[in-house]
């Protein structure tokens, strides 16, 4: 009897302890949730939000359907300065007007990425894309010199060489049937970033079934689905389901690739400064990884391999996936507008004549119309269709009080279609970016590379690469698009991609 009484008492005590722990764990988050709910009531929002679940059950699962849902919502509420959405217990403000976006991006207060970025941490760690606060400031300061003009000049040679390989691969389709060019462009971009970022040739263009590329695509899809489903947020749930196991499998592939390259490069580094080394009479090419291995932080300490891994994984992802998608969208738009293609051709003739030489830095400065074409392509199809920040301090946005901790989602895809700044927004008009037509435009009306203190560090690299690849392709081929705009069906993942690729027909140029 005494034993039973003791067990009964122990059970009560255990239950009480469990209840106390549960209350302690949930009290502050629940209190904060109720406080945010009440404080944000005046802000117009998406209807049908349930307590704790929010609007999550209303989100479309398919990435293409989800993007359409976002665009329909922003069109419906275009007259409103901002709207609120609840993803589980986490509040998000949806921003798609230049004036409200400026309030978030123009200040150094709100530089932290939103809660949803934590699902990128297993892959990218807390590198430049995902880090916050002092770590981000230190890394940004440390990495900015690696994108100096003189270093970008070194990278230009790699871009030209890899584009030559792309041209040879595209020749097999010239004057033939329509084909999907998406993978060709992507593998070229991957070869470029591997050689410039890591100093390693991986010959991705010779391996069309690259496991790394497949894993990047799969990981992007997995992460975006998890971001929209709060019931998958707890790791202890996610890690035991099928998608969590697929996540772990892809993560291993992505990390093992970059880890092996870092290890190999570190072992090959000599004591001598790489900038002064000579290789058979030529200056040795610098790679982003070489510079990281020799970079010190504010305290004078070298980055460890884990720090370097974060930045290499970040640049491998951001440095090939975004530019590849942007170049593909541009090819579709150029191939859909013969008059634009003729103007590009005239500019190429003026700069290069009949010469078949590589693109130089001086040539890039002269390709002004092509730059406008790229900018207009990025307006219609921004590589990153949406991104998010955390509001780091109580503030006012357009007269509404926004409490600290709320997430602000900026949607360039919708922002770039504001008819106040881009009349007939669905029309493809590169002339919008002529200097005389850009004067006076709101500085936050066009954000293909974000803006403010946390803008994209690699935007000059990206623009260089796009100019080199597109100029070279158009010097060799006439491009004809084989899809209508409606058939493209953009997918709202981490990167904006067409559901079924970009289908074009190429014709060899006679001169």
Can you say which residues are annotated as belonging to the binding site for heme?
456
What is each CA distance from 370 to 89, 321, 327, 431, 464, in whole angstroms?
46, 21, 12, 11, 11
Name the residue among 296, 292, 36, 317 with its Cα closest to residue 146.
Answer: 292
Residue 279 structure tokens:
């290789």
d(CA 484, CA 442): 31
**If DSSP codes are grouped into helix, strand and coil, which group holds residue 20?**
helix
Provide the terminal-to-terminal Cα distance of the chain, rounded to the nearest Å: 101
- DSSP tag of 284: P
Can you say whether residue 337 is alpha, beta or left, with left for phi > 0 and alpha for psi between -120 and 50 degrees? beta
What are the backbone angles phi and psi of residue 402, rounded to the nearest 5°? -120, 115
What's the CA angle centered on 464, arms 462 and 465, to 5 degrees?
Answer: 65
| Integer Cα distance of 166 and 132 in angstroms | 38
Give 183's contacts (C-beta < 8 A, 6+ positions apart).
Answer: 208, 213, 501
Alpha-carbon distance of 30 to 35, in angstroms, equals: 8
Q: Which H or E run includes 83?
A: strand 83-87
Q: Which residue has the tokens 């986490």?
A: 90
Return d(Cα 83, Cα 221) in angstroms, integer.
26
Residue with tokens 């803006």: 451
At residue 390, the 3 state secondary structure works out as strand
What percent of the residues of the chain are helix, what percent strand, and what percent coil, each to the nearest 5? 60, 10, 30
Structural tokens at position 19: 């209840």
User: How buried is residue 173: exposed, middle or buried, by Cβ count under 10 Å (0-12/13-18/19+)?
Assistant: middle
Residues of the binding site: 456
Q: Residue 413 has which token pair?
A: 């895809």
Spell out the SS3 assignment of 127-145. Answer: CCCCCCHHHHHHHHHHHHH
């Amino acid at each position: 009897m005494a034993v039973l009484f003791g067990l009964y008492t122990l059970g009560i005590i255990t239950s009480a302890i469990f209840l106390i722990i549960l209350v302690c764990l949930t009290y502050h988050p629940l209190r904060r949730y109720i406080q945010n709910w009440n404080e944000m009531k005046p802000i117009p929002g998406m209807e049908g939000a349930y307590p704790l679940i929010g609007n999550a059950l209303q989100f479309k699962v398919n990435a293409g359907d989800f993007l359409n849902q976002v665009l329909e919502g922003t069109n419906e509420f275009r007259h409103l300065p901002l709207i609120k959405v609840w993803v589980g217990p986490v509040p998000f403000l949806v921003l798609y007007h230049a004036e409200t976006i400026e309030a978030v991006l123009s200040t150094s207060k709100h530089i932290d990425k939103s809660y949803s970025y934590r699902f990128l941490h297993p892959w990218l760690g807390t590198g430049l894309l995902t880090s916050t606060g002092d770590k981000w400031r230190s890394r940004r300061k440390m990495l900015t010199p690696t994108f100096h003009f003189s270093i970008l000049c070194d990278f230009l040679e790699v871009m030209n060489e890899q584009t030559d390989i792309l041209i040879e691969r595209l020749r097999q389709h010239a004057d033939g049937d329509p084909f999907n060019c998406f993978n060709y462009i992507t593998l070229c971009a991957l070869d470029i970033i591997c050689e410039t970022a890591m100093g390693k040739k991986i010959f991705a263009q010779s391996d069309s079934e690259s496991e790394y590329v497949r894993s990047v695509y799969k990981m992007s899809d997995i992460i975006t689905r998890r971001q929209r489903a709060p019931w998958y947020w707890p790791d202890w749930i996610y890690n035991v389901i099928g998608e969590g196991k697929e996540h772990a499998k892809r993560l291993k592939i992505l990390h093992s690739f970059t880890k092996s390259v870092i290890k190999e490069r570190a072992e090959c580094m000599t004591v001598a400064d790489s900038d002064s080394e000579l290789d058979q009479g030529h200056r040795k090419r610098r790679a982003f990884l070489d510079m990281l291995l020799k970079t010190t932080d504010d305290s004078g300490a070298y980055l460890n391999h884990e720090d370097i891994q974060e930045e290499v994984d970040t640049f491998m992802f951001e440095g090939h996936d975004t530019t590849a998608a942007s170049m593909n969208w541009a090819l579709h738009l150029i191939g859909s507008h013969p008059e634009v293609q003729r103007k590009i051709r005239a500019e190429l003739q003026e700069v290069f004549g009949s010469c078949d030489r590589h693109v130089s830095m001086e040539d890039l400065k002269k390709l002004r119309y092509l730059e406008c074409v790229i900018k207009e392509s990025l307006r219609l199809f921004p590589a990153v269709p949406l991104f998010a920040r955390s509001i780091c301090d109580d503030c006012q946005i357009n007269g509404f009080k926004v409490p600290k901790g709320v997430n602000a989602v900026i949607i360039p895809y919708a922002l770039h279609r504001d008819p106040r700044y881009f009349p007939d927004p669905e029309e493809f008009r590169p002339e919008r970016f002529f200097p005389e037509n850009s004067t006076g435009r709101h500085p936050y009306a066009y954000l293909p590379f974000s803006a403010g203190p946390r803008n994209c560090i690699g935007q000059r690299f990206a623009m260089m690469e796009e100019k080199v690849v597109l100029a070279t392709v158009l010097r060799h081929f006439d491009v004809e698009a084989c899809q209508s705009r409606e058939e493209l069906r953009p997918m709202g993942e981490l990167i904006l991609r067409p559901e079924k690729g970009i289908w074009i027909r190429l014709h060899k140029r006679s001169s």
